[in-house]
Chains A and B, each alone.
Chain A
């Protein structure tokens, strides 16, 4: 696998610097944490950077496209013309299920296999290089129900073959340790970012932890995130050291 020579991956300067400004084509990243902690914002910036550098990109979401455009419009870096001109695609997961021809609640194992093929085919047809699935929770539920434990391994193979980078976002309040879910676990991903909200005295902060990067455990440093429509700022977390 060749290294992608992009300088900006997430469009968040500090994060790009920390991750050496590169990801591998075919890489699969996991963002997880409670809602409102910055997962989607960084995921969207990942897409914005891709489209901005000429890579077709897609967001698979559980929101209707119109609602998503409204949401994305809050970000300074988003341009609606990307969607209009087809550089950025928004796929509501319900629409994908519509193509499968079954309601989400009723989908079983063979429906998931068909969904997988439709997903891969769509990505191929649109010549997409970056994919964000946000939130990935419905898909996880579906995979668990259908007992599709190798979905992500199969997806990874497809991504590598086509040089596509994917970010999978899971909304959760509990850490995703190996074994919590049989269909999704950190070891399946090339990099893992954990998002959290912490209170220190009266100050509430969004905290980002790079748990895994490039197959190795990242030094366990935390970073504070400040998210606004203008972009995402990061600063190293000042540790609350015990006074000796």
Chain B
């Protein structure tokens, strides 16, 4: 992912507590997440949380090159690996939840991490809306994100929600796009 394509996201994240909705697809999608994590944790020296609903711990470790990130810079709430039968235990990086994880258990896990790293967590990435949409209704997701976004604003944490683009945007995708500070369409940005 050329770093330039991430510029609109990076720019939007400069304001404490700002929230960005990112639409991406295909190969650019994972590159965008890995580029963003590398930028925030590596270059930016920030600490944050990634909620992963579609990539297993091993896949995330490889794709995000987690071992190369500064220690304790990223905590991952993984709702995938347990379902795949991986015998994994919570560790410094990963917290494992069963799938479909209740939305409340995700909220509690985020809260637990924030509480254990008082004042250190400055961003949250959700990967991805499209996967959560497979398990939960629009109403549930709307309420979940309302709590999550409000909670992050309380502590001025940045939130980045990724959505894999489809032909048409789902109602929840449209809703989040309208309530978050900025929507970045990486495909359009790439064509500019």
Interface residue ranges, A against B (CB under 8 Å): 13-14, 200-201, 203, 205, 224, 226, 233-243
Contact = CB atoms under 8 A, between A and B. Distances in A.
B100 interface: yes
Contact of B104 (A201, A237, A241, A243): A237
Nearest to A240: B140
- 3 closest Cβ contacts across the A-B interface? A241-B139, A224-B104, A235-B107
A238 B137 CA distance: 11
Contacts of A205: 102, 104
A224 B115 CA distance: 17
Interface residues of B, number: 17
A233 to B, nearest CB: 4
A235 B108 contact: yes
Contact of A243 (B102, B103, B105, B138): B138
Interface of B: 100, 102-105, 107-108, 111-112, 115, 137-140, 143-144, 147
Contact of A238 (B100, B103, B138): B103
Given A205-B104, A240-B140, 12 more contacts: A201-B100, A203-B100, A203-B105, A224-B102, A226-B108, A233-B112, A235-B111, A236-B104, A236-B147, A240-B137, A243-B137, A243-B138
A200 B137 CA distance: 13
Contacts of B108: 224, 226, 233-235
A13 B147 CA distance: 16
27 contacts: A200-B102, A201-B100, A203-B105, A205-B102, A224-B102, A233-B108, A234-B108, A235-B104, A235-B105, A235-B107, A235-B147, A236-B104, A236-B147, A237-B104, A238-B102, A238-B104, A238-B143, A239-B139, A239-B140, A240-B137, A240-B140, A241-B137, A241-B139, A241-B140, A241-B143, A242-B139, A243-B137
